[in-house]
Amino acid sequence: MKYKDKVVYQIYPKSFQDSNGDGWGDIPGIISRLDYLKDLGIDVIWFNPMCISPQKDNGYDVADYRNFDPRYGTMEDFERLSKECEKRGIEIMFDMVFNHTSTEHEWFKRALKGEQKYKDYYIWRKKPTNWQSKFGGSAWEYAESLDEYYLHLFDKTQADLNWENPEVRQECADIINYWISKGVHCFRFDVVNLISKATVDEDDPNNADGRQFYTDGPKVHEYLQELNANSFGQDPAAITVGEMSSTTLANCVRYANEDEKELSMVFTFHHLKVDYKDLKKWELKPYDFLELKRLLSSWQIGMQEAGAWSALFLNNHDQPRALSRFGNDTVYRKQSAKTLAAITHLMRGTPYVYMGEEIGMTNAYFKDISQYVDVESTNIFEILKKEGKSEAEIYHILQERSRDNSRTPMQWNADINAGFSKAKPWLEVTYNYKDINVEESLKDKDSIYYFYKDLIRLRKTYEVIRTGLYVPLLEDDSQIFAFERKTESESLIVLANFYEQETSADLSTKGYDVLLQNYPDVLTEGDSIRLRPFETVVFYRSL
Ligand code: TEU
């Protein structure tokens, strides 16, 4: 139960609050905003990595797992953060990037010098396979000093660790135990289902990226059980979540089942590919609502039937803002943001609030490549240009897909740089910050912020929201996402119109009360409920 009533807030530290005027978010800045998060009602804060890193992939290229990049602050700053979080009953979740390290890590540098112990920490071959990096280009990079290639599923500065090596596995357990000793009890594991490679010697016959050889690999459960036993599994307060790339339900019911002693829960992404044409991220298509509903429902049912647990989210630092992607970030910004929040928070699992979604932050709509920082985005700009796409087409794609969309500075107020920093921020603030910011949200009793606050409060109040079974409703309806959550003594019904067109749900809510709504009134006519643009109504009754 320790995580089934919790709500996690994700902070992208680089963009949350700058305190020392260098245009870069930092730990003292985070501390200054803890009361805002406490008031929102969240229980855990997931911090994206703040370790020493060359920042080629914004910290997911770790060069020292035990020390903070000074641009975020010092160990003393962290210890103050830990104390201030504890005072507010907020847990800290750190992000463990164990599939790879930066090529600036001491281990990799010693490997390049030919130290066999550290060479064995990575994956080397004389001859590369045809595998492609998830950030474009070959997944192998030549190291002249060794006359060999090393594997990197992501950027060439992110060398994959060799998890076959027990010393690597022990290093990772030791890193977790170090942070547990510092008072961190919650951990997110980056692309952790990629750590076990079946082989690295075979070309991908479909000339694809090779993911079939390393996704949910043959020893991944064994490695996770060992990591659990040697680290966080010994910590009764531990809450863990694994980011699972291109995974399957069959594996996730094992990753996130307490009996398997692997992790507490998983992030999966199938529902966030319903606007990928032919499942290709950089090929746009309008999102498929029925597919979105089908995927969310099938995973809810599959996980609950197996007694496994899901992380619930539509936003994170790798995704464009859901409000711009699935909602309407202009005329119906408030209504659609609330609708997306309601279906996320009222499904079965642990909800994650990504910084800024609680105030309806939108995509950045940058117009020039000079505004983009993300390595994935700048790489794809060059790749698409080589493929002959016009710059106008490429900018349209980046405006819809770039990870920078969600990494723009948190919009606190209408002051310079949205109150994030007095200096030029490392990434531009989104254009609409004067109207969309925390200060405005706190003044407006009908704001998205207060709707999130209600959702979080309801989770603490109603058992049916925490643990109730998920039952899909109106499955064939082409614009309403509807489901019931139920226990032996309670029933909750969620009706959400995902479109601007008005519609109605033919469903009896006799004996139910309205628990939450995103319009001033609720229009019921007999056994039918009218749903205006992006209208959501939540009904509740004790059985
Ligand atoms: O993300 C894994 C990953 O594949 C994402 O980059 C996402 O799937 C991709 O952007 C969609 O095109 C994790 C981290 O969350 C991400 O920030 C890192 O860049 C990546 O791993 C490498 O560590």
Place of tokens 């694809």: 208
- Average pLDDT (511-515) is 97
Give the pair of three-digit tokens for residue 543. Answer: 């059985």
**For 381-415, what is each residue's pLDDT tens digit?**
999 999 999 999 999 999 999 999 999 999 999 99
Q: How many angstroms separate the most distant Cα atoms in the chain?
A: 77
Q: Among the atoms of ligand 1, which is closest to the Cα of residue 375?
A: 19
Kindly tell me if the per-residue pLDDT of 518 is higher than 70: yes
Q: Of these residues, 26, 61, 190, 226, which one is catalytic?
A: 190
Ligand 1 centroid distance, CA of 265 (Å): 18
d(CA 130, CA 207) in angstroms, rounded, equals 7
**Ligand 1 and 5: CB distance under 6 A:** no
**Residue 126: other Cβ atoms inside 10 A:** 8
Kindly tell me if the per-residue pLDDT of 376 is higher than 60: yes
**Ligand 1 and 154: CB distance under 6 A:** yes
**For 235-292, what is each residue's pLDDT tens digit?**
999 999 999 999 999 999 999 999 999 999 999 999 999 999 999 999 999 999 999 9
pLDDT at residue 1 in the model: 56
Pick the closest to residue 255 from 303, 312, 324, 288 (CA basis): 303
3-class secondary structure, 421: coil
d(CA 219, CA 391) in angstroms, rounded, equals 44
**Ligand 1 and 281: CB distance under 6 A:** yes
Ligand 1 centroid distance, CA of 245 (Å): 8
Could you tell me whether strands 350-354 and 51-52 are parallel, antiparallel, or unpaired per DSSP bridges?
Answer: unpaired
Helical segments of 276-332, H only: 289-305, 322-325
- Average pLDDT (506-512) is 94
**For 339-371, what is each residue's pLDDT tens digit?**
999 999 999 999 999 999 999 999 999 999 999
**Ligand 1 and 318: CB distance under 6 A:** yes
**For 53-70, what is each residue's pLDDT tens digit?**
999 999 999 999 999 999
pLDDT at residue 91 in the model: 98
Task: Tell me which of 53, 318, 398, 405 to substitute to probe ligand 1's pocket, judged by most ligand atoms within 8 Å of the beta carbon.
Answer: 318
Ligand 1 centroid distance, CA of 144 (Å): 28
**Ligand 1 and 273: CB distance under 6 A:** no
Q: What Cα–Cα distance (Å) separates residue 382 from each residue in 119, 159, 398?
A: 32, 22, 12
What does the H/E/C string look like for 245-286?
A: CCCCHHHHHHHCCHHHCCCCEEECCHHHHCCEECCEEEEECC
3-class secondary structure, 323: helix
pLDDT at residue 152 in the model: 98
Q: Tell me the average pLDDT of the chain.
A: 97
Adjacency order of strands within the sheet including 124-125: 124-125, 148-151, 140-143
Residue nearest to atom 2 of ligand 1 (CA): 191
**Ligand 1 and 134: CB distance under 6 A:** yes
Q: Among the atoms of ligand 1, which is closest to the Cα of residue 401?
A: 12
358 flagged as catalytic: no
Handedness of CA 189, 190, 193, 195 (dihedral sign): negative
Give the pair of three-digit tokens for residue 296. Answer: 């969310």
Residue nearest to atom 9 of ligand 1 (CA): 318
pLDDT at residue 380 in the model: 96
- Average pLDDT (286-309) is 98
- Average pLDDT (514-519) is 98
Q: What's this model's pTM, rounded to 2 decimal places?
A: 0.98
Q: What Cα–Cα distance (Å) separates residue 145 from each residue in 109, 114, 119?
A: 11, 8, 12
Question: Could you give phi then psi for residue 29, rounded to 5 degrees?
Answer: -65, -40
Return the DSSP state at 429: P
190 flagged as catalytic: yes
| Contact (Cβ atoms closer than 8 angstroms) between residue 102 and residue 49 | no
pLDDT class of 208 with cuts at 50, 70, 90 = confident
Burial 465-503 (b: 16+ CB within 10 A, else e): bbebebbbbbeebebbbbbbbebeebbbbbbbbbbeeeb
**Ligand 1 and 376: CB distance under 6 A:** yes
Q: By percentage, how much of the chain surpasses pLDDT 70?
A: 100
pLDDT at residue 284 in the model: 97
DSSP 171-187: HHHHHHHHHHHTT--EE
Ligand 1 centroid distance, CA of 439 (Å): 31
**Ligand 1 and 262: CB distance under 6 A:** no
3-class secondary structure, 73: coil
